[in-house]
Structure 1
Amino acid sequence: MYTLYGTDESGSCMIEIALQRCAVPWHRVDASSWQDGEGSDALARINPLKQIPTLVTPNGQVLTESAAILIHLGLEYPKSELLAGDRAQILRGLLYIAANCYSAIGIIDYPQRWLGNADEVQQALLVSGTRRYLHQAWVVFADQFADQLFTPGNVPNALGIMAAAVSRWDDAREVLGNLAPGFAQSLERVDADPVVAPVFARHWPQWKVS
C-alpha cells in the first residue's frame, strides 16, 4: 500500500487524484511543515524538509516533489494515462510548473525564509514582486501548454491535474480568466472531471469557480 503524507488545500490533492487513477491501494497521513502531531513527526523522519506531498511506495521507497511523483506513477502505471498525450511536452510542463509557479508560491507564503529578519516593508515588496512573476508565468504557461492538459481521450493527464491544482493559489485563476480565458475554461474542465472533482471539493469546500 502507498502512504501519502499531506493535508487539505495542499499539493497532496494531485497525488490523491493520481493514485485513484492508478487504481492502487493507498492511505493518507495528515502531515505538513505547519502542523504539529504524529503525522508531521513521521514525515520529518523521512523528509527533513517536511515538504508535502511525500509518497512512500509499497516497497518503502520515499518519493518527494509533486512533478517527480506524478511522472513516476505515470510510468509505473501506464493504464492510468497520466502521461498520455505528447509526453515530451507533458514532462516539460510539469517541470515548468514546479520551477516557475510552485517555487514562487513558496516565496509568497514564506518570504522570511529568503529575507531572514528583514522588516515587513521588504517582505511585502518581495511578496508583491513574486506574485507578479507568478501571474506572468501562468500567462506564459497558458500560451505554451494550452493543448497539453488532456489525453487523446479527453481525460485530464498529469499536466492538467497539476495545472488545475497549483493555479488555485494566489489569484492565478482570476488572472487567467482575464488574460487567457480559453485556458481558464480548460482548467475548469479539469475541475469537473469525475475523478478530480470530488478530491478538489474535499480540499477546497468553499471554492467557487467563476
Structure 2
Amino acid sequence: MADRYILYSALGSGGVAVEAALTLIGAAYELIEAPTYDPGAKAAGDRILGANPMRQVPALVFPSGEVMTESAAILVRLGELHPQAGLSPAADDPRRSQFLRWMGFVSSAIYAHYWLKDDPMRLVSDPAQVAVVEDRLNQRIAECWAIMERQVAPARYILGDAMTLLDVYVTVVSRFRPRRQRFYEVAPRMGEVVRRVDEDPRLTAFWAERYPFFEGWDRM
C-alpha cells in the first residue's frame, strides 16, 4: 500500500473529517474501520493500537509509513501536502493565522470534550451523575461554538468565499451532540456554511456512506 494513505476511522466519528478531506483532495486511501468511541469496543482499540497508543481515531499512515494522529493536525498537514486542492491557506495567505487558530480551537475547546461525552463514567463513579455531566458538557460546547461565531466573519465559507478544511472540520464536529439544532441556534452564520458543505456535490455520495442524513439526525 506504499502508493496510498491508510486511515483508521469510524462511521460518524471525527475521522470522517479526514475521510472527507482525502475525498476532496482525490487521494487514494485504505480505510480501516475502528469504532473506538464504543466503550465496549476493545477489539477496535486493539486494531488501532499500533498507529495510536491512545486507541482513538483518526490515525493516518502516510505512504512513507509516517503516522499522524489528532484530527486538526492531520487536516492541516493534508492541506499543506496537497496545495493543488486549494483547501488550506498557504503560509503567506492572510487567512492562514485564522485558519490555524480556529482549527486548534475546534480541536481543543470542542472536540476534546467527546472523550468524556462518549462515556461519562470515565470520570464519575455515580451513574446518577451521568446526565448532569452530559448536560454541562453540551452547554460548554454550545458556548464555545457561540464564541467562535462572534469572532469570525463568514462569507460563503468561514474564512471567505473559498472552502477550506476548517469548513469541513466544523461541518463534521457540529454534527456531534448536542447536534445541529443547537449549533444553528448559537452559530447561525456558521450554520449557513455547514449546510453549504453538507450539500457540496463532491461529497454527496461520501456523506451517504460515512455520515448519512436521516429523519431527525440534526436534533437527536
SS in 2 for 1:45: coil
In the alignment, the residues of structure 2 paired with residue 87 and residue 79 of structure 1 have an alpha-carbon distance, to the nearest angstrom, of: 16
Structure 2 CA distance for partners of 1:176 and 1:31, relative to 1, 3 Å: closer
Q: How many residues align?
A: 206
Which amino acid letter does the alignment assign opposite residue 119 of structure 2?
A: Y
SS in 2 for 1:173: helix
Following superposition, the deviation at residue 47 of structure 1 comes to 1.1
In the alignment, the residues of structure 1 paired with residue 158 and residue 86 of structure 2 have an alpha-carbon distance, to the nearest angstrom, of: 10
Q: Deviations over 1:140-164 (max 9, x none)?
A: 1222234284576x44211000000
Which amino acid letter does the alignment assign opposite residue 16 of structure 1?
A: E
The answer as to whether partners of 2:158 and 2:193 remain within 8 angstroms in 1 is no
Which amino acid letter does the alignment assign opposite residue 58 of structure 1?
A: P
In the alignment, the residues of structure 2 paired with residue 158 and residue 52 of structure 1 have an alpha-carbon distance, to the nearest angstrom, of: 18
Which of the residues 198, 202, 209 maps onto 1:202? 209
Cα RMSD (Å) of the superposition?
Answer: 2.2
Which amino acid letter does the alignment assign opposite residue 180 of structure 1?
A: A
Which of the residues 108, 121, 126 maps onto 2:117? 108
The answer as to whether partners of 2:87 and 2:164 remain within 8 angstroms in 1 is yes
1:94 maps to what in 2? 103
Q: Deviations over 1:43-80 (max 9, x none)?
A: 11221211101100001111000000001111111112
1:9 maps to what in 2? 12
The answer as to whether partners of 2:11 and 2:35 remain within 8 angstroms in 1 is no
Which amino acid letter does the alignment assign opposite residue 61 of structure 2?
A: V
Question: If the length of structure 1 is used for normalisation, what is the TM-score?
Answer: 0.88
Which amino acid letter does the alignment assign opposite residue 123 of structure 1?
A: V
In the alignment, the residues of structure 1 paired with residue 153 and residue 106 of structure 2 have an alpha-carbon distance, to the nearest angstrom, of: 13
User: Structure 1 unaligned runs (5+)?
Assistant: none
Aligned residues: percent identity?
Answer: 28
1:67 maps to what in 2? 72
Structure 2 CA distance for partners of 1:137 and 1:60, relative to 1, 3 Å: same
Question: If the length of structure 2 is used for normalisation, what is the TM-score?
Answer: 0.84
